[in-house]
Amino acid sequence: MTNNKQQTAVDSYIIRRHIIEIEARLGKISADEYEQELIKAEQQAKEMEKEKHEKFNKFLNDEKQLGISDLKTIERIQWYYNTYFNETYGGSEQ
């Protein structure tokens, strides 16, 4: 089964941390490597989150440049987040 959903920064970090912990317990990486890999995983998660915020800020700046009214901006923000949510998590299935 293929999963086309994107991982959030937190999801990515949690998965990577579990993998690193398993590798350490199995003796595949040293204590120093374990620490370095955890730091690297944290930095990658932070970078993913930063990219998400930069993308959203660009979206808001584009809206401002178009002179969209407040109501229209709110609707566009809702559209953006709904689109992002659907692309990232595969939609809302309640």
Q: What is the pLDDT of residues 56-75, one digit of tens each?
A: 778 777 766 766 667 677 77
3-state secondary structure the chain: CCCCCCCCHHHHHHHHHHHHHHHHHCCCCCHHHHHHHHHHHHHHHHHHHHHHHHHHHHHHHHHHHHCCCHHHHHHHHHHHHHHHHHHHHCCCCC
- 15 pLDDT band, cuts 50/70/90, is very high
3 within domain boundaries: no
Q: How far apart are CA 89 and CA 46, in angstroms?
A: 19
Of 76 and 50, the structure prediction assigns the larger pLDDT to: 50
Would residue 2 count as lying in a domain?
no
* Domains of the chain: total: 1
20 touches 41 (CB < 8 A): yes
The reported pTM is: 0.63
What's the domain range around 17?
A: 9-89
